[in-house]
Amino acid sequence: MSAQIPEARSTDELREKWMKPEVISGSEILLRSLLLEGVECVFGYPGGAVLYIYDAMYGFEDFKHVLTRHEQGAIHAADGYARASGKVGVCIATSGPGATNLVTGIATAYMDSVPLVVITGNVVSSLIGTDAFQEADITGITMPITKHSYLVRDVEELPRIIHEAFHIANTGRKGPVLIDIPKDVSAAKTLFVPQTEPVAMRGYNPRVVPNKLQVDKLIQAISEAERPMILAGGGVVYSGAHEALYEFVTRSEIPITTTLLGLGGFPSGHELWTGMPGMHGTYTSNLAIQNADLLINIGARFDDRVTGKLDGFAPKAKIVHIDIDPAEIGKNVPTDIPIVGDVKTVLEIANQEVKRADKADAWRKQVQEWKAEKPYSYRDSDEELKPQWVIEMLDETTKGEAIVTTDVGQHQMWAAQYYKFNKPRSWVTSGGLGTMGFGFPSAIGAQMAHPDRLVISINGDGGMQMCSQELAICAINNIPVKIVVINNQVLGMVRQWQELIYDNRYSHIDLAGSPDFVKLAEAYGVKGFRARNKDEAREAWQEAMNTPGPVLVEFVVAKEENVYPMVPQGAAIDQMLMGDE
């Protein structure tokens, strides 16, 4: 059963109604403007400073709003919606604590280049700066973690600001834009003049088309390379470049690794795909990067979890970096061939000339030998449930077709390693900030974006407790997310570091006293199942798949299980701990 999600209502008749010039309040202007930007659903939580806005929603059937149970749930849901759909996610919160509860979610979206428009209320304009009740300088607080922000001083500026905000959020390097609306501005009335013309902003003109000479250098470098390697990141997914990337790889026959946020940007079943690189990446990907003579970075930002020790990263390679954000090029890794532009556009231009890397036959053979030598592996058990086995079961039973969201920790890495993604926007996870509490509410947003697709939310027992109150939203709205809790009764990734790096000094990681997750789900009106072995796991998961509506399945797994491979902090990425072997 699909979720009770608003159907698209942007018919010509409705748009004509929304665009009707008339004197209305700032709150009504806001709602109409959001609809004209194509917004299907807004996530939010009311409070004093946004009551005029919520009053305008009353009886406004064309406008769809989901009441979450915490502002952090609202922004993570908007984030999940944006990642899964490619559209701009929208959330609303009140002033003061409502706005500050959004900060972690804004930072999460900013680090991962996710387009959001975040709307906050503020105290009336005359009280700004007086430490009024529930006042917070949210534009100042969030300045380092927003792409742009507005404090609306005049209701007449509201239509333009909203139109600009969506343009900024969803162009160039995407990211969150904040609009702070004082209460008197949301109450004030003016003639509504809809903004529908293309936005032209002085000083903001992201470069989409690359310098052709730089693309020519890339083509020449490929023809000369004996050990070329592609590193593809989230930019491939965000720019819709997956088809162009597939053509580029198959034409050049260059092996490819995809980062955590790049998973799904290239089909995992392809023989040239080597898996994920970096701290918990594959043996093959890490060795290939370290031995490559040409490394082509396509839409990745050379994050430290990918590079490991910087002065030991890709020591033999000429570096090509394709990115729409010029600030990323050369920031962490010196670049030999910088290409600034939209990833999809760059690849489409390159595909007109790229040819097979003919000098790389021995290299391709070597990469395949590495893949066969040391794939991901773990020591399975028939006595206790292993988390890797659980992820493999999820992959097998869904044939890799689900949208998977995760929280942060060991389960996140196991999901990245053992679930096979073949489509873009099927993988929703907090990469740069590593935000616990993100996984479950982001699944709600992803399901709202795709009401007819299977959405699985994979969580640890720690992160699940950070936003578990959003179970109410699933129950009330019949949002059919399948919620997986990998319960190892401990903060698993912290425990792993304390074991391997801190000489088994286990400090404050025991999650004893966590709730009975099955009873917690049932308390909210969501079906719950528990599994402690393989037979119970198969039965519980099949029951979950056969159940319309939301379901929570708790898999009780081995506490001592670690994520391998693992590159210790400060080591080069070919200095991997391989685990049981």
**In the 3-class helix/strand/coil scheme, how is 318-350 assigned residue by residue?**
EEEEEECCHHHCCCCCCCCEEEECCHHHHHHHH
Beta strands in 381-451 (DSSP E): 403-406, 427-428
H-run or E-run covering 551: strand 551-556
What does the chain come to in residues? 581
Q: Are strands 176-182 and 189-191 parallel, antiparallel or unpaired?
A: unpaired
Tell which phi-psi region holds residue 278, choosing left (phi > 0), alpha (psi between -120 and 50) or beta.
left
User: Has 183 been annotated as catalytic?
Assistant: yes
288: tokens are 């290939």
CB 147 within 8 A of CB 168: yes
How many angstroms separate the first and last alpha carbons of the chain?
Answer: 45
**In the 3-class helix/strand/coil scheme, how is 478-504 assigned residue by residue?**
CCCCEEEEEECCECHHHHHHHHHCCCC
User: Has 348 been annotated as catalytic?
Assistant: no
**Catalytic residue (choose from 183, 318, 371, 420):** 183
Distance in angstroms (rounded) separating the CA atoms of residues 121 and 139: 11
Q: Pick from 57, 24, 18: which is nearest to 41 by CA?
A: 57
User: Has 493 been annotated as catalytic?
Assistant: yes
Q: Write down the residue that tokens 């640890």 correspond to.
A: 460
CB 9 within 8 A of CB 16: no
The three-point CA angle 483-484-487 to 5° equals 135
User: Has 133 been annotated as catalytic?
Assistant: yes
DSSP 40-73: --EEE---GGGHHHHHHHTT-TT--EEE-SSHHH
**Catalytic residue (choose from 111, 276, 493, 576):** 493
102: tokens are 């959004």
**Catalytic residue (choose from 37, 71, 470, 554):** 71
Distance in angstroms (rounded) separating the CA atoms of residues 185 and 492: 48
Cα of 34 vs its chain's centroid, Å: 23
Q: Write down the residue that tokens 């919160």 correspond to.
A: 93
Distance in angstroms (rounded) separating the CA atoms of residues 302 and 308: 10
Q: How far is CA 408 from CA 108, 262, 412, 506, in A?
A: 12, 16, 5, 19
User: Has 469 been annotated as catalytic?
Assistant: no
**Catalytic residue (choose from 19, 60, 134, 522):** 134
Active site residue ranges: 71, 133-134, 183, 493
